[in-house]
Amino acid sequence: MQLTTRSKVVSNKQLSFAERIYLPALLKGMFITLSHLFKKKVTILYPEVKREHAPVYRGQHVLKRDENGAERCTSCGMCAVACPAEAITMESGERKKGEEHLYREEKYAAKYEINMLRCIFCGLCEEACPKEAIFLTDRIVPTEFEREDFIYGKDKLVELVDKRVDVSKRQTPEVLAFKKLEGMRHNVLYTKKLTTKSESKS
Ligand code: SF4
Ligand code: SF4
């Protein structure tokens, strides 16, 4: 009984001398190899040559500062909760008097780490962040030899005051318009003054 239609009849014919010394197979293989010499190359000479990435390519993260240079992250933990790879850990700190120029909110991330070996660059941390503090960029995480070197702390994640990372292309006009809608609480600076005002209203 025939079980499938893919059965193949095996030939038991005697191999010729050329076939026994693999000559046709060798020539066929060489022909395939030679034909590739004249085809357009699909490889590039990285790192001398770099491929152009899409503006929304998801590479190494950046922790953003606001227009005054203060860190935007308020250590709310939303990114860590959203992260499917459990790659993000943080410890919160309380802003002291005189540190307003360093941290945008009263609570800030005293320690913030991303394990790049765990990260799958899904971008969910970026989407979950209510403070526009974390973004993925088109930068590639460099290779390292030690596992600990892949744990990125604030020293590698927070952008430099005088060397900002442009993330403007990561947000579509629709998303930006949505954030500007009247009554949206997104990215509002929660100061004591604002909280008292909203409490007295209710
Ligand atoms: S990109 Fe995805 S996996 Fe990587 S830290 Fe963000 S949420 Fe986690
Ligand atoms: S990066 Fe954004 S989501 Fe993550 S802790 Fe900071 S403010 Fe919250």
Query: Which of 169, 174, 136 lies closest to 58 in space, CA to CA?
Result: 136
In a domain? residue 176: yes
| Minimum-distance ligand 1 atom for the alpha carbon of 79 | 7
Residue 151 pLDDT exceeds 50: yes
The band of 187, judged by pLDDT with boundaries at 50, 70 and 90, is low
Mean pLDDT of the region 33-53 = 90
In a domain? residue 189: no
* CA angle at 188 for the pair 76 and 67, rounded to the nearest 5°: 95
In a domain? residue 135: yes
In a domain? residue 161: yes
| Pair 104, 189: CB distance under 8 Å | yes
> 106: CA distance to ligand 2 center in Å?
14
The band of 189, judged by pLDDT with boundaries at 50, 70 and 90, is low
Task: Name which of 14-28, 48-62, 164-178 the model is least confident about.
Answer: 164-178
Return the percentage of the chain with pLDDT > 70, whole number: 89
Amino acid symbol at 37? L
The band of 1, judged by pLDDT with boundaries at 50, 70 and 90, is low
Mutation pick for ligand 1 pocket among 88, 89, 150 (CB with most ligand atoms within 8 Å): 88
| CATH code where residue 123 lies | 3.30.70.3270
Residue 171 pLDDT exceeds 80: no
From the CB of 128, is ligand 1 less than 6 Å away? Answer: no
- Distance CA(63)–CA(156), nearest Å, equals 9
Q: Which ligand is nearest to the CA of 136?
A: 1
Q: Which ligand is nearest to the CA of 77?
A: 2
> 124: CA distance to ligand 1 center in Å?
6
| Minimum-distance ligand 2 atom for the alpha carbon of 131 | 7
* CA angle at 137 for the pair 120 and 168, rounded to the nearest 5°: 135
Which residue's CA is minimally distant from atom 5 of ligand 2? 75
Chain mean pLDDT for the chain: 88
Which residue's CA is minimally distant from atom 1 of ligand 1? 121
- pLDDT for res 117: 97
Its sign, for the CA torsion 123, 43, 165, 60, is positive
Residue 199 pLDDT exceeds 60: no
Residue 198 pLDDT exceeds 50: no
- Distance CA(154)–CA(60), nearest Å, equals 13
Mean pLDDT of the region 20-49 = 93
- pLDDT for res 99: 94
Number of structural domains (the chain) is: 1
Task: Name which of 6-15, 164-173, 177-186 the model is least confident about.
Answer: 177-186
- pLDDT for res 157: 97
Mean pLDDT of the region 110-117 = 98
Can you give the pTM of this predicted structure?
Answer: 0.74
Burial (Cβ within 10 Å: 0-12, 13-18, ≥19) of residue 95: middle
| Pair 165, 89: CB distance under 8 Å | no
In a domain? residue 36: no
Q: Which residues line ligand 2 (CB under 6 A)?
A: 73-79, 90, 109, 128-129, 131, 133-134
Q: Which of the pair, 130 or 83, is modelled with greater confidence?
A: 83
Q: HSE-up of 196 (CA within 13 Å, CB side)?
A: 3
Cis peptide before 47 (omega within 30 of 0): yes
Token pair of 145, please?
């030899």
Which residue's CA is minimally distant from atom 2 of ligand 2? 129
In a domain? residue 21: no
In a domain? residue 10: no
Domain range for 149 is 61-184
In a domain? residue 98: yes
Mean pLDDT of the region 121-130 = 93
> 126: CA distance to ligand 2 center in Å?
9
- Distance CA(42)–CA(13), nearest Å, equals 41
